[in-house]
Structure formats: C-alpha cells, structure tokens
Amino acid sequence: MNIKSSLVLTNPWWNHEKINEQFLLGRKRNEFNDIIERMNNKRILSIIGPRRVGKSTLIYQTINYLLEEKKVDNKRILLFSGDDPSLFFNENDKLSDVLEVYFNDILEENIAKLTSKVYIFIDEIHFIKNWQNYLKTYFDRKYNIKFIITGSSSMHLFKDANESLLGRIENIYVLPLTFNQFMNFYMTYILKEKDLEIPKIDLNNLDKSIKKLEEIYYNQDLKLKIQKILKKYILVGGYPEYFEVKDVEVWQKQLSDDIITRGIYKDILTMYNIKSPEILEKLLYYIASNNSQTFAYSGIAATFGIDTVTIMTYLGYLKQAFLINILENYSNNIAKVIRTNKKLSILDNGIQNSLLKQKEIDNNLEGHIVESMVDFDFRLLCEKENYKQFYYRNSYKEEIDIIIDRNIDIIPIEVKYTNQIESSDLKVIHKFIDENSNKEINQTKFGIVVTKDILKREGNLYFIPYWLLNI
C-alpha cells in the first residue's frame, strides 16, 4: 500500500464520511477542553500519558469538534500514527515523506503558502525516527500548521527532544481518571444519569470550599450514591476502558496484559536497551506489595541483587511511563533530599489490585489504597500547576504523607482514612505547621487532613472526606 492510499483510509472525513461513533465514545474527559483552548496557539501541542488512557479518543473528539463546530475544511485535517507499518515500515521511512504526499497529492497546496491553517495529528509519534527534528524545522519556518502529537510516556516525547523543541511545545497530561472523573463516567455508562457536580476545592480559600461542600455532605442519598461509586473506583482504578468491560476479573486480566506487560515490553523497551526487562515487572510487583512505603534505593538493589544505579534507572523508567510515583523527602537541604529514602507507589490503584490479584478490598487495605490515590490526585495538580510534591520524614521518624510546595507556600497533607481521628494522630502535622508558620519564604499557613467522612475546619487544619476531594 502506498502512502496516499494509507492516509485516505485513516482520514475518512476527506470523503465526507462521519467519524465512527465508537471512536468518539459517549462523553469527553476534562482534558478535551484543555485541548480545544489551545487549538489557536502556535506551539506544538503534545498529549502525554500511558497507553490505553484515552489519548486517541481525545484526538478523534478534537477532530470531530473541528469538523462539526469550527467547520474546518475536511482535507485540512490530517491524522496518522507513528506505528502504522504502511507508513513507517523501516527506519528509513521519514516523517517528511508522509507530509510531502499529503500536501502535494491530497491538499494540493504549497506548504509555504497555505491559504488557511492545517491541523496535523500524529498519534504515537515516538515511533518515528528523528520526529523532533522534523517538527522543529516545520515550526521554525512558520508554516501555517498546528501540530497535535501524542506519546505513551514522557520519556518518548522528551528523550533527546528537550533542547530542540524548547519554547516550541506545550504539554497536556492525560492520566488515569481521578475519582471525580470516574464518578461521572460511571453516571453516564452505568447509571445512565446526569453528572454529579462536586465543587473544585480552592486551595486559596478553603473556608469557602468547605461551605460549598457542606451542601453535598449533608445530602444523605447523594452521599451514599457517591460512596458506593468510590468503592468501585478503589477496586478497578481510573482507566476508562473499564466501562466497556465491567467484569472485575476480565478487567484485571486486561489491565495486566495491555497496561503492565505491553507498557513495559513495548513502550519502555522501544526506547532503551534494557538487559533484564523482567526486573521492571518484578519491581512493579514489589512496589505494589509495599505500596506508599519508603525505600532506600540501595535496599531495593540488595533485594534484587543488582547495583543501585540500575535500580534508580529502572524506577525512573517506570515513573516516566506513568506506572509509579516517586516522592522525595521534603527538606530545605538539597543534599539531604537526594540522600534520603523515597516514597514509592503504584500510580493507578486498579493496576495495583491487578498486580496483587485483589478482587475484594478490606478496610485496612482500603486506607493504604486511598493514600496512594491522594498521592496521584496531587501529582496531577502539581503537573498542571508546576508545583513540587514531596513526603516528609524527620530524624525522629515522624512522617507526613504529602507536602505540596506551591512556590508561595507549603501545604502539608495527611491521609487519615477513618472517622476516628485522635489528637495524637495529628501531632506531627501540627508540629510541622508551627515550625514553618513564621518563615518569610516556604511559609505554612494551614494543613489538610483527608478523611473517610469528616468535613470540618479545626484551627489551621481542614478535614475533607476523600469522596469530596475534587482538586
């Protein structure tokens, strides 16, 4: 098959055909609006996230929006994939060859003299050799083109590309669904009801946020419905394809095959020459079995019988592939941050349960899973707002689950997934606030305690149930 024939097949709107409804799904992720807002920006837009999280669906939804809402000429939208063997059969096949056929044989316009904007969507771009150099050239020549690209992890999009695309690219992270997103997918696909609106928490005005949340908190019927959905989310996690599968046993096998195994043996191995890829999978099981615990790299290395540098490298791969989260210990001393233990957790709780084959969650396990879910929620916030995320452990082995450095202040966050919280449980977070409340920089004014079902303010602590934690 030649390039033109292949492109015609993957771009049915050129022949005035509608996009298959199966590609569009019944609802849109929150990130869809972020993408649409950036359509008029000149910069290359990269959509980054793990496999099977819905990046391709977002692309089709965006194309449909351009066709139906913005009335963009159908042939001014091009879509192809970097792992399409009919376009890129070997490493000698070039991105420029595909674009040359498109502009010459399909659009029939000179790329340097485009009459109006062209939208070029490239899915899984990391499979294309030297893709960043081609995009840099097109961008720097100021062609009237908007590039929208996707990659299955940050390593694919930024290995060898940081310098060449600096100032030319902006990123949208698409990760597994947060609980709030999952809840409204559940309302659409399972209950066939309208969305439940939980107000976003404003970290700059938590008193106002608490008042808004009280309206939902004291609605018992609504509370029971949301808490029932939360039980399901704690078990199955945030990958949207669950709503096509629904059966937990089938879903966990699919997670294991599609996300874990292929994520390791296809995504990571395509970029790096790893001598022992099976260690990556064993590391995932190890972290899942000790989720949200702190580790020294040297200790993990001793457990696996390999050197510390290799362990650090492999854990970095897993983080960049959005399979795990790694938190440094918070300190004003950079050298101490580097030396101290790291807190490791599986990024998606559904993957953790799949790894450990857990089909039922008891109360004790539930608390550990919710802690890693809170880690994930705040990682998303930090990625979006360019904050820094840590955990805290001092020389007395006193710990705080999460520390958020917002550049203007520091917010300590404790996860106490229970309805019986004693004053002794809050001793460390109170001490941290007292010690940092009078600093000129990195000042701490308040803390957050994530609970099972307590909503209140008590002094400089805000207690918020996880089921209402929409950040």
**Does 152 share its domain with 222?**
no
Residue 408 phi/psi, 5° resolution? -95, -25
Question: Tell me, what's the pLDDT at 335?
Answer: 53
Contact (Cβ atoms closer than 8 angstroms) between residue 351 and residue 255: yes
Q: Which of 141, 173, 205 is the C-terminal boundary of a domain?
A: 173
Residues of the chain with pLDDT under 70: 1, 153-163, 270, 333-339
pLDDT of res. 127: 83
Phi then psi dihedrals of residue 406, to 5 deg: -95, 10
Q: What pLDDT score does 312 carry?
A: 92
Identify the CA nearest to 330 among candidates 317, 319, 343, 318.
Answer: 343
DSSP tag of 83: T
Q: Which of 173, 191, 221 is the last residue of a domain?
A: 173
Domain boundary among the residues 138, 155, 173 is at 173
For residue range 343-402, list pLDDT tens digits in order.
Answer: 999 999 999 999 999 999 988 889 989 999 999 999 999 988 999 999 999 888 899 999
Per-residue pLDDT at 438: 87
From the DSSP assignment, how many helices (H) and strands (E) are in the chain? 20, 14
pLDDT at residue 162 in the model: 61
- Which CATH number does the domain housing residue 101 bear? 3.40.50.300
- The backbone region for 130, taken as left when phi is positive above 0, alpha when psi lies in -120 to 50, beta otherwise, is left
Q: Are residues 144 and 286 in the same domain?
A: no
Question: What is the number of domains present in the chain?
Answer: 2
Whether 158 and 188 share a structural domain: no
Read off the DSSP letter of residue 89.
S
> Can you give the residue range of the structural domain that contains 380?
180-468
Question: Is residue 142 located within the same domain as residue 201?
Answer: no
- The strand pair at 118-123 and 145-151 is best described as parallel
**Do 135 and 225 belong to one domain?**
no
Four-point Cα dihedral 443, 449, 450, 451, nearest 10: -170
